[in-house]
Amino acid sequence: MADLPAVVSGGWAPVAAGLLGALAVAAALLDGALAGRAAGVRSGMGQPAGEVARLLRQRRRTTVAADRLLWRIGGAGLLGMALMIVTVVPLGRWTLFDLGVGVVWVNALDVLAWAFVWLTGWGANSAYALVGGYRFLAHGLAYELPLMFALVAPAVAASSLRVGEVAAAQQGLWFVVWMPVAFVVYCLGVVAIAVWGPFSPALGRDVAGGVTAELSGVDRLLFLAGRYALLAAGAAFAVPMFLGGGAGPLLPAWAWVLVKAAVLLAGLVWLRRRVPALRPDVFMEVGWLVLLPAVLLQDLLVAVVVIGG
Amino acid sequence: MGVSGALARLALRHAHLLVIEVPGYWLTRVAVERLAGVRGWRLAVSPADADILAVCGSPGPELALVVARLWEQLPGPRARIDVAAPDLVAAALDQAEAMLRDTPRQRRDSTARDGQGLDDAPGGDIALAHGSEDRDGLEMDVLQVRLGPVLPDWPAGLVLRAHLHGDLIVEAQAGVVDAGQGGPAGGGHVVGGDTSGDIRQVDAGEVAARRCDNAARLLALAGWPDAAGGARAIRDRLLTGDRSAAITELARLRRRVRRSWLLRWSLRRVGPLPPDELARLGLAPDLTGDVWDRLNGMLDRAVFVTGGPAGVAAGGPAGAGVGGPTGFDVGGSVTPPAAVASVVSGWDVATARLIVASLDIAALDVVTDG
């Protein structure tokens, strides 16, 4: 059994936030570069910086009879969620919180995306934004249960809900190797809570940007940053859950965590360019008839192996 | 200059435009999209997302009112340009950039807007939705929403007055903005094979470009921005005379679309239109099938009119080449708005948008159905 991560003081929290920010910025740069290459324009890599400058210079606006408080909470909430998720992700030998129920903590946080995305759609008092918000809930109905059961598999295998212990239980064999279904479903869930790529109909062009239809200036910036941060936080959490934590040759454990998270993140960013959006009504069938049974079978298999072994 | 100057310079390289096309000015709109893309600018999806409002063509009174309302919704810094013809686009974009760069001017505009506009509209006078029975016999709120005339990837000038149950369109009436104004102004720009009028001869490249433009819209609505970007690039090549490269890329795009099982799975069985229904609604006979068939049909027609090597094989796997090459209605006839309203009823907004985009609309009949 490898060493469990040591809890560091809360003073290191800004460092964790900085690392999450760095991953999110890297994701935005990669996305900009890929989009630029696809469109054949010059300024691919500069796109995120330009977008930030543009939104900082832009005025905030509001709409008639907007529910401003809930609207702002929803818009800023995604970023807060991502920050809370990384507090339990061990960076090699260190972690900010060593919660006994770390896995449940992350699961509880990812459900918050339902509230935040929907509230952003609701608060603007705009038909398109509200349609977008409900589309996210429809996706949620299909991805959330499979995501929960996907997180069950590593916890069962490690016989612990402590993230550090789950990571330590993978000495020798990473969970991704013998629970690939749970890993794929988990990744789909991460893409979904970030309202990313195939799960972006909530922000669809057909409803003039959906949830983001009425956002401008710093509000839009927070929402967009929250999506990238969630993608990064989801990729980072996959490292202790499925990718062996800090295990790896040569490099120190903390570096391996970052490398693995960055590689997975790059994969998720790239995915957006390759596939069209999944319509919520169509994905509902997949979620309930394919993903849920598949991931339940995965859990059963894991449980049998754990009891048998 | 300092920080705000640097911010402005950086921001200007990534401005977002909301493009409004007056019916009949699609070439101008395409030129705006192309030249904006060259500058690294993006197309906005809503007024909140836009820095520049680009009006292509001269709007009639009804559309002018809509434009004015949208202009109020731009957060600012903002610039409005009116472009009357494709060759004026470059100058207009320069002008927009100068306006956005002019910080004192934007500051004045911003101060002038303080204390007026949307923020201070009284909250009490908003009508509540009324109720009605939905398809399952449950009491549902009914919301009246006008789709169009300004929406991303939406046929120019089309307005759908939709009665929504949630996001389900239970009933819709269609019209064309400024329908009473005697048709589109500046007829020289009416293209897309509109052979019903005495409009100038349209060349094959333009017809194919129109098909690519419509396919790009459908792909964008299906949530596949890369493929949509590819279709737009082909459209621009066809219009700027780079025909041979366009034909190769078009063949590649067609293969890529056909191979995407995810796209196929998402568009299959959506908005099926049998031939007799098409005849009843006055739609072109080659729109038979579902949205997937019609998307492939659009690309097949584009290949066919450019005389590409794959044109003969148009009766491909999707069965889109109805009647073989000679059976193609390459021009894209005039679409009656009533037909659009009829085919979207009973679908949710997302699928309705896909269906409208799949109709390969080049021009709308100005006769409304009230």
Listed by number, the residues of chain B in 105-144 with a beta carbon closer than 8 Å to a beta carbon of chain A are: 110, 118-119, 121, 123, 126, 143
CA B303 – CA A27 distance, rounded (Å): 37
Residue A261 maps to a domain: yes
Residue A2 maps to a domain: no
CATH code of the domain occupying B2-116: 3.40.50.12280
Shortest CA gap A263–chain B (Å): 22
Range of the structural domain that residue A200 is part of: 11-308
Q: What pLDDT sits at residue B181?
A: 63
Q: Between chains, do B266 and A204 touch, taking CB under 8 Å as contact?
A: no
Residue A223 maps to a domain: yes
Give 10-residue mean pLDDT values along chain B (370 residues).
76 88 88 88 89 90 89 87 88 89 82 63 54 71 82 88 84 82 44 40 78 90 87 88 84 89 87 84 82 89 73 40 40 74 87 88 61
Residue A217 DSSP label: H
Shortest CA gap A18–chain B (Å): 23
Residue A235 maps to a domain: yes
Residue in chain A closest to B264 (alpha carbons) equals A276
Residue A113 maps to a domain: yes
Gyration radius of chain B over CA positions: 21
CA A11 – CA B41 distance, rounded (Å): 41
pLDDT per position as a tens digit, A52-70: 888 888 888 877 777 788 8
Q: Following DSSP, what letter does each residue of A69-131 receive, concatenated?
A: HHHHHHHHHHHHHHHHHHTTS-BTTEES---TTHHHHHHHHHHHHHHHHHHHHHHTT-HHHHH
Residue B143 DSSP label: E
pLDDT per position as a tens digit, B263-312: 888 888 888 888 888 888 888 878 888 888 899 888 888 888 887 554 44
Q: How many CA atoms lie within 13 A of A258 on its CB side?
A: 16
Domain locations along chain B = 2-116, 179-364
Residue A126 maps to a domain: yes
Terminal Cα-to-Cα distance of chain B (whole angstroms): 55
ipTM of the complex: 0.83
- Chain A CB contacts of B48 under 8 Å are 61, 209, 212-216, 220
Q: Which two tokens stand for residue B172?
A: 């819709």
Q: How many CB atoms lie within 10 A of CB B148?
A: 20
Q: A110 — phi, psi (to 5°)?
A: -70, -25
The H-or-E segment that residue A304 falls in is helix A292-308
Q: Between chains, do A41 and B40 touch, taking CB under 8 Å as contact?
A: yes
Instruction: Say whether residue A114 is in contact with chain B using an 8 A CB cutoff.
Output: no
- pLDDT tens series, chain A, 309 aa: 456 777 777 778 788 888 888 888 888 888 888 877 777 666 567 788 888 888 888 888 877 777 788 888 888 889 999 999 988 888 878 887 888 888 999 999 988 989 999 999 888 888 888 889 989 999 999 999 999 999 999 999 888 888 888 888 888 788 888 899 999 999 999 999 999 888 988 888 888 888 888 888 888 999 999 999 999 999 999 999 898 887 778 888 888 888 999 999 999 998 888 888 888 888 888 889 999 999 999 999 999 988 887
Contacts of B241 (CB under 8 A, 6+ apart): B205
- Chain B CB contacts of A278 under 8 Å are 223, 262, 266
Residue A6 maps to a domain: no
Listed by number, the residues of chain A in 62-81 with a beta carbon closer than 8 Å to a beta carbon of chain B are: 62-65
Quick check: B249 and B237 in contact, CB under 8 A? Answer: yes
Instruction: Say whether residue B353 is in contact with chain A using an 8 A CB cutoff.
Output: yes
Q: How far is CA A227 from CA A194, A204, B157, in A?
A: 5, 15, 34
CA A59 – CA A215 distance, rounded (Å): 10
- Chain A CB contacts of B226 under 8 Å are 38, 273-274
Nearest CB to A54: which of B11, B38, B126?
B11
pLDDT per position as a tens digit, B209-268: 888 899 999 999 988 888 888 898 888 888 887 888 888 888 889 988 888 888 888 888
Instruction: Say whether residue B166 is in contact with chain A using an 8 A CB cutoff.
Output: yes
**How many folded domains does chain A comprise?**
1
